Structure 1
């Protein structure tokens, strides 16, 4: 697994640094069953980092949404090449090779690490409100590099799996904006709103490039609504955790799996 400081989706790194268009539910969908050839790709939100029983290399957990979705459709054997800390470059170098003309379904979350999402969280927490706003303003205004990386990644996926239906899952908002909670759990209220503004821009970019590639974007924000960090029933881990800001097992089941199930049937 690639290592890089402040990759949000390389969870132990963030903890140390802190020092403490969507598919409609009623869409006509294809039928998937035990014969479906499924490949799960992407970063830690695909791997299931934060859920128990993750492997030591990439954090792939049987309680992550890919396994939950495969089991729901009777798929007893599928290929999971997702890996915590992955960026688009890793998908191109290490994951696309798992695809073939026989692949029927692909799922992926990618892009958060390319935009240094974890760095934005650290800037807000360590440098104050003004620096937080400046960092988010800059990131929101400059999504073009990410769009280009996503285009290259999606093109490679389509070329390697020309017959597959590809579901691109977005990221949830990490924080509840109105609840109060301690610094060990999340940034202050103003900073949480700013970081959610970044997350919305990130998902908007991902959704646009997915649509351009002919892929289906699956919006995870509605299913996670009311269950972000600082909620009374959070499906994301707080800052002071070994896997900060990653989904809990409930987050993978009731957040991600529920969103994907709604899109795929």
Structure 2
């Protein structure tokens, strides 16, 4: 696991830190899932559950991640969790895809934030407004490179699991954009808006690539609305936290889980 500040989506930040179609599913949401359903969870720390209670010290996996909660809610016992904090698309291709097979029924994944270096953008934005805008403008311009990596990753997933339903979940916006903020040490309002502009561009790239792959895009942001850092009931850990800017238990239970369940049934 990459325990670096720059890849904040992947690991603790101790210092600072419906588009898509279902492609030939083996099971449909209408028929439900049970103990015979073979489910593989893939992705980075947002998939692993790093910010939730019980996350391990290796990959940040835990029983309160959205994959674990969804599997438990659907009575799934054949559950393979290859998620890992620090993962980029290259890690998915080199390691996580090995968890898939032609027998896999369900796949979920959240990936791309580390490829796009979201953590770097947060740090740069907090250094000043001008530097923030420059960094975000460049990041948005460079988003096609991240999309190309997503395209390759999704193609590999389809090849390794040709019969699976694949659900691609995005990222919640990290900050509320209102003027006031009770959190300590936080980007100013302008910087928060710029960071969220980057987040929306990343999610759009994820959505487009998922649609091109024939996967189901699951937008978690509506479920997180009003619960980012700076809200009175934040579901995202603040910057001064060992799992900074990751969803907390409520974020997984009340944000990601309902979003995934709304897509799968």
TM-score range, shorter chain: over 0.9
Q: Relative to structure 1, is the Cα distance of residues 139 and 125 closer, same or farther in structure 2, using a 3 angstrom cutoff?
A: same
Spell out the pairing of 1:105-124 with structure 2 (5 A cutoff). Answer: 105-124=106-125
CA contact (8 A) 1:21 1:211 kept: no
Aligned partner of 1:199 in structure 2 is: 199
Shift of the 234–141 alpha-carbon distance from structure 1 to 2, 3 Å rule, reads same
Measure the CA separation in 1 of the matches of 2:184 and 2:19: 33
Kept after mapping to 2: 8 A contact 1:223/1:258 = yes
* Secondary structure, aligned partner of 2:156: helix
**SS of structure 2 residue aligned to 1:174:** coil
TM-superposed CA distance for 1:136, in Å, is 0.6
Contact 1:23 1:263 in 2 (8 A): no
Structure 2 residue aligned with 1:224: 224
Contact 1:185 1:230 in 2 (8 A): no
Deviation of residue 147 (structure 1)? 0.9
Q: Secondary structure at the match of 1:15?
A: coil
Alignment of 1:61-72 (within 5 A): 61-72=62-73
In the alignment, the residues of structure 2 paired with residue 132 and residue 71 of structure 1 have an alpha-carbon distance, to the nearest angstrom, of 41
The Cα of 1:118 is off from its aligned counterpart by 0.2
Give aligned pairs, total: 258
CA distance in 2, matches of 1:183, 1:234: 10
1:51–1:248 contact (8 Å) kept in structure 2: yes
Alpha-carbon shift at residue 55 of structure 1 (Å): 1.5
Distance in 2 of aligned mates of 1:109 and 1:81? 12
Aligned mates of 2:101, 2:10 — CA distance in 1: 28
Equivalence for 1:134 = 134
Offset of 1:141 from its aligned partner? 1.5
Distance in 2, matches of 1:22 and 1:185, equals: 36
| Structure 1 residue matching 2:95: 3-state secondary structure | helix
Q: For residue 235 of structure 1, give the secondary structure of its aligned residue in structure 2.
A: coil
TM-score, length basis structure 1: 0.93
Alignment-derived partner of residue 15 in structure 1: 14
Gap regions ≥5 residues in structure 1: none
Question: Corresponding residue for 1:168?
Answer: 168
Tell me the distance in 1 between the aligned counterparts of 2:119 and 2:191. 13
1:106-137 CA deviation, whole Å, 9 max, x = no partner? 000000000000000000112x0011011111
How far apart are the structure 2 equivalents of 1:174 and 1:42? 18
Question: Normalized against structure 2, the TM-score is what?
Answer: 0.93
> Displacement of 1:5 after TM fit?
4.4
Cα-to-partner distance string for 1:1-54 (whole Å, 9 max, x where unaligned): 234441012333x332x3x74479xxx834222211000000000000011111
TM-aligned CA deviation for residue 208 of structure 1: 0.1
CA distance in 2, matches of 1:125, 1:79: 38
Q: Deviations over 1:75-124 (max 9, x none)?
A: 12300000011100010111000000000000000000000000000001
**Change in CA separation of 1:55 and 1:183 when aligned onto 2, cut-off 3 Å:** closer
Q: Where in structure 2 are there 5+ consecutive unaligned residues?
A: 22-27
**Cα deviation 1:166-219 (Å, max 9, x = unaligned):** 000000011000052257342111100000000000000000000000000000
Judged with a 3 Å threshold, the aligned counterparts in structure 2 of structure 1 residues 142 and 86 are, in CA distance, closer, same or farther, namely same
Please state how far the C-alpha of 1:245 moved relative to its aligned partner: 0.5
